[in-house]
Structure 1
Amino acid sequence: MKLNTLKLIAMKKITFVFLLTLITTVYVSAQEINWLTLDEAIALQKKEPKKIMMDIYTNWCGPCKMLDKNTFQNKEVADYVNKHYYAVKLNGEGNDVVTYKDKAYGNPNYDPAKANRRNSAHELARYFQINAYPTVLFFDETAEVITPLRGYQTPPQLELYLKMFKNDDHKNIKTQDEFNTYYNAFKAEFKG
């Protein structure tokens, strides 16, 4: 009986060490995007011009959580965004005050009791005409909106837009047929 108890204790210790190692490996391998506020990103643009990628999400949005977990924590996506963009998060129904083009935007109808349910839309989300979550909004180096990208995107799907906007390829695309040609010729490198 004592031998079985010792074996059980040893197995529990081995299992604990294995789980601890697994959790540490997963945590360390997950890459983080360096998220900023819009105010910080615009200030940085003045010193070192880069485009801005803004994730507009809500607390209740399932696809927003998937975008965070599956796409934004993908090492290739995070590395690319951190190198070539200023990344911003905006809760589309939150109550932060955000300045854009010298005007402060807030959410005067925000209800704290609804923080994790549908709430009033943030004034900046309304200004950008965001009506779906998640929406990834791209800005040029002078904080002018390039375009919104609505809905959940896998790493390879987002890669197309990250590279297209970073390289200014979008400036040569004027029609849906030209976009389709670009899309069909694009070779995704990100896994996911």
Structure 2
Amino acid sequence: MINKLTFAIFFLVAFSLKGTAQEIKWVSMEEAIALQEKEPKKIIMDVYTVWCGPCKMLDKNTFGNADVIDYINTNYYAVKFNGEGNATVNYKDKTFGNPNYDPAKANRRNSAHEFARFLRINAYPTMVFFDEQANYITPVTGYLKPQQLELYLKLFKNDKHKDMKTQEQFNDYYKAFKPSFKE
């Protein structure tokens, strides 16, 4: 009886662990830049706020998608940044903070962080892409499903954006793009 019970518990635990999803390896901006020195990769920064509903959907539906997780962890350094938080960010020999941050508003709308302003973030969520030397490429604003984000992840990873000088060229890329991520 004990052997059957032990086996049943072992089976249930093993089965539940098998279903445990891998997560994106989030780091700070400073950590991402330090990692780039050892192994150059682009950076994707998720700029969110604690009160933002679409940000929570992005976390659950897109950043929780196995294909997105695998692709980002393999090809990018991922930074999660609260655009209204109180963290200090060091970037390109400048220090950014949030001098107007109000701790009493920690769970609702707060003052915009200096780094979010520097990056010209005006909506949440926004994903900001940086090259292998942490140079700003561009922001992509709004909630994106996994296959929508896939388009941008592959566009910037493969430097295809460098060949696009017009909106028409991007539109052609968009029309020709064949997503492979599962929804």
TM-score > 0.5 by shorter chain: yes
Number of aligned residue pairs: 172
- Alignment match of 2:164 (pick from 151, 154, 173): 173
Which has the higher Rg, Structure 1 or Structure 2? 1
* Alignment-mate amino acid for residue 160 of structure 1: L
Is it true that 1:67 corresponds to 2:48 in the alignment? Answer: no
Identical columns (%): 68
Note the C-alpha offset of 1:25. 6.4
Structure 1 stretches of 4+ with a deviation exceeding 3 A read 23-27
Residues 42-100 of structure 1: per-residue CA shift (max 9 Å, x gap): 01111111000000000000000000000001000000000000000100000000100
- Alignment match of 1:150 (pick from 141, 152, 160): 141
- Alignment match of 1:76 (pick from 50, 67, 75): 67
* Alignment-mate amino acid for residue 37 of structure 1: S
Q: Secondary structure at the match of 1:55?
A: strand
Q: Secondary structure at the match of 2:46?
A: strand
Residue of structure 2 in register with 1:120 after alignment: 111
User: What are the equivalent positions in structure 2 for 1:24-173 lying under 5 Å apart?
Assistant: 24=16, 28=20, 30-173=21-164
Note the C-alpha offset of 1:24. 3.6
Structure 1's unaligned 5+ residue stretches are 1-16
The RMSD of aligned alpha carbons is 1.6
Q: Give the TM-score, by structure 1 length.
A: 0.86
Distance in 2, Cα, partners of 1:27 & 1:170:
36
Q: Taking structure 1 as reference, are residues 27 and 56 closer, same or farther at Cα in structure 2, changes over 3 Å only?
A: farther
Structure 2's unaligned 5+ residue stretches are 1-8
Distance in 2, Cα, partners of 1:26 & 1:93:
36
Q: Give the TM-score, by structure 2 length.
A: 0.90
